[in-house]
Amino acid sequence: MEILIDKIRITICFLFLLMEGWSDRKKKRIHLIPVAIFGLAGICLCAFQGPKDIAYAFFGMVPGAMVLLLAYATGEKIGYGDGFVLMATGVLLGFRMNLLMMLFGVFLASLSGIWILIRKKGNRKTKIPFVPYLIPGLTLTLAMVLQGNEI
């Protein structure tokens, strides 16, 4: 039963990231209603599994909370929406997987930024949507987990 719940969580997370990634890429916006819905779905799944998973969900939100603090500290150079998305994915994925997904996403977004600079399609102030990079970040994270690497 636990494996089924994990598969449901990952599927929900992928669907959520696809939807919000498309919105972030096309409209440069994160819609907070789907963030809240998917976050609540994750909390319901955790409540279904018991108190241990409530702690799992709570600590999973820490990377998103840190991004929200960075958004505040930088005057929103990093968007608040990115932090809210990471909080919702943290409820579904837990701390380690969410942190690793975020780090992969940051790495991939930075590679994209470097590519934009090399091609002279922008400058250091060019805004890059972050959520679309979380999709391959989650894929890489799952590949590591399925390969048996401890995270």
Q: In the 8-state DSSP scheme, what is residue 28?
A: S
pLDDT at 150: 54
**What is the C-alpha to C-alpha distance for residues 114 and 32, in angstroms, rounded to an integer?**
30
Tens-place pLDDT, residues 69-94: 999 999 988 889 999 999 999 999 99
Q: Following DSSP, what letter does each residue of 96-134 receive, concatenated?
A: HHHHHHHHHHHHHHHHHHHHHHHTTS--TT----SGGGH
Residue 67 confidence class, pLDDT cut points 50, 70, 90: very high
Does residue 60 contact residue 98 with C-beta atoms inside 8 Å?
A: yes
Residue 36 confidence class, pLDDT cut points 50, 70, 90: very high
pLDDT at 98: 95
